[in-house]
Amino acid sequence: MEKEDFDELLPEYDFDYSKARPNRFAPNVVEGSLVVVLEPDIASVFKTADTVRSKLRELIDSMPKESKD
């Protein structure tokens, strides 16, 4: 007996937004920011967002500055 292809998606869904909750992470994201997910090995070294920002700023400061000729 061959199983018939069956699409489980309905043509339309009715979501109950009265049960929705605000995104608890949204207030931490400033407009123009880039959110990055660190892989576990990197996250094990950088425990907080502050340490990541600090090290990235140190790296930026050590990079050669581009001249505007």
pTM equals 0.54
In angstroms, what CA-CA distances link 41 with 37, 38, 44, 46? 12, 8, 5, 9
Bin 27: left if φ > 0, else alpha if -120 < ψ < 50, else beta: alpha
Amino acid 2: pLDDT: 57
Tokens 């995104």, residue? 23
Q: How far is CA 37 from CA 33, 40, 42, 46, in A?
A: 13, 9, 10, 12
Tell me the pLDDT tens digit for each residue of 22-68.
Answer: 888 788 788 898 889 999 999 999 999 899 999 999 999 999 988 76
